[in-house]
């Protein structure tokens, strides 16, 4: 009974604080929620909640605000699933349906998610390592240069310029291309190494270094940790939370410009199909410890190929954000499935 009410108080504090942005006091609380008890009782509960670390006061004689721990309890035990309206679902679906290629899908998704949540959205390209090769193309750029184009079954297209150790003719390029294609078509990128290992030896000695160079670039492109790409959008929404980041918007913006940082972030939450939340100090990136991350993985069926998420102030509408992230992840998975 008592425990129940305390949790209800915590929930009320979180909700009020999220919507008003101001420390919430005992009196305002009884007025806005039908708690059925007096403000003095609430004060006692609040004292207990503060004792346990769920809420804090910015200074004596101010209202309470939730701590990271308080938000954590709210997310874990209190926030019900907030289903999206069918209108919202339809909007998502129609917005993503018009995409013409993978780049388009990614950029539409990120804009959509940023718009729904009014926060910063992150969407990761399907990982190459988890994709299979659909097609390879080698285009001769000059005597000793070629362009390698790789098309994965997730829709990703990567290109790299290869500097060849020796001049190679158009005809040679065509032979190399056709052999590499037959060796790698349908192969998952992570298995590519063994699949093409013996290929150079099949060619004339003079050509072998060139073939090896092309293969090296191919493997680099697929295995390199830099193969991961993330797009982000809605940075402007950060400015909306000037009260939170007032003094130091800069480090947050800087962190968000670093691909490596974003990868680390999404890596933490994209391992599961459920939506995962990292609150404040739980955030692995130091400059983002004033923010929360809501994210999840997406992919074809059970094999997750990338992550999608949202970064915002710890004071955010968790149920709504979680629902939006989940919905977008579902649509992304569906689009991948269709290929």
Partner DNA sequence: GTTGGCACTCCCCGTCCTCGAGTGCCAATG
Partner DNA sequence: CATTGGCACTCGAGGACGGGGAGTGCCAAC
Binding mask 141-160 for DNA (x = CB under 7 A): --------------------
Q: Closest CB to a second copy among 20 and 178?
A: 178
Minimal distance, residue 339 CB to a second copy, in Å: 7
Which of 24, 75, 138, 327 binds DNA (CB under 7 A)? It is 24
- Which of DNA, a second copy, none binds 264 (CB below 5-8 Å, type-dependent)? none
- Which of DNA, a second copy, none binds 274 (CB below 5-8 Å, type-dependent)? none
Minimal distance, residue 10 CB to a second copy, in Å: 32
Within 60-89, the residues that bind DNA by CB under 7 A are: 60-64
Q: Closest CB to DNA among 44 and 235?
A: 44
Residue with tokens 């998420």: 309
Query: Residues 269, 279: contact at Cβ < 8 Å?
Result: no
Q: Closest CB to DNA among 56 and 157?
A: 56
Which of 7, 8, 52, 57 binds DNA (CB under 7 A)? It is 57
- Which of a second copy, DNA, none binds 63 (CB below 5-8 Å, type-dependent)? DNA
Q: Closest CB to a second copy among 72 and 229?
A: 229
Q: Closest CB to DNA among 22 and 163?
A: 22
List interacting residues with a second copy (CB under 8 A).
100-103, 134-135, 137, 139, 141, 147, 149, 151, 155, 157, 159-161, 233-236, 238-240, 242, 249-251, 253-254, 256-257, 339
């Amino acid at each position: 009974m008592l425990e129940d009410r305390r949790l209800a108080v915590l929930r009320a504090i979180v909700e009020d604080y999220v919507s008003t942005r101001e420390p919430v006091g005992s009196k305002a609380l009884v007025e806005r929620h039908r708690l059925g008890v007096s403000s003095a009782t609430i004060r006692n509960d609040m004292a207990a909640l503060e004792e346990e670390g769920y809420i804090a006061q910015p200074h004596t004689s101010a209202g309470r605000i939730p701590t990271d721990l308080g938000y954590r309890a709210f997310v874990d035990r209190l926030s019900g699933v907030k289903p999206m309206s069918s209108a919202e679902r339809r909007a998502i679906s129609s917005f993503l349906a018009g995409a013409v290629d993978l780049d388009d899908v990614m950029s539409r998704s990120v804009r959509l998610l940023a718009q729904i949540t009014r926060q910063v959205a992150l969407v990761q390209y399907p990982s190459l390592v988890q994709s299979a090769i659909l097609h390879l193309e080698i285009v001769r750029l000059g005597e000793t240069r070629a362009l390698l184009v790789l098309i994965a079954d997730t829709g990703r297209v990567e290109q790299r310029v290869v500097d060849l150790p020796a001049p190679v003719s158009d005809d040679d390029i065509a032979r190399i291309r056709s052999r590499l294609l037959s060796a790698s078509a349908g192969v998952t990128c992570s298995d590519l190494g063994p699949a093409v290992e013996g290929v150079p030896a099949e060619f004339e000695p003079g050509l072998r270094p060139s073939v090896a160079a092309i293969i090296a670039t191919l493997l680099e492109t697929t295995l390199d940790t830099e193969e991961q790409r993330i797009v982000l959008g809605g940075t402007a929404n950060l400015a909306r939370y000037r009260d939170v980041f007032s003094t130091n918007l800069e480090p947050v913006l800087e962190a968000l410009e670093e691909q490596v940082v974003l990868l680390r972030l999404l890596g933490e939450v994209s391992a599961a199909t459920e939506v995962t939340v990292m609150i404040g100090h739980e955030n692995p990136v130091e400059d983002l410890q004033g923010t929360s991350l809501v994210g999840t993985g997406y992919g074809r069926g059970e094999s997750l190929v990338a992550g999608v998420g949202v970064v915002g102030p710890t004071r955010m509408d968790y149920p709504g954000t979680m629902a939006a992230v989940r919905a977008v992840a579902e649509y992304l998975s569906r689009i991948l499935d269709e290929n």
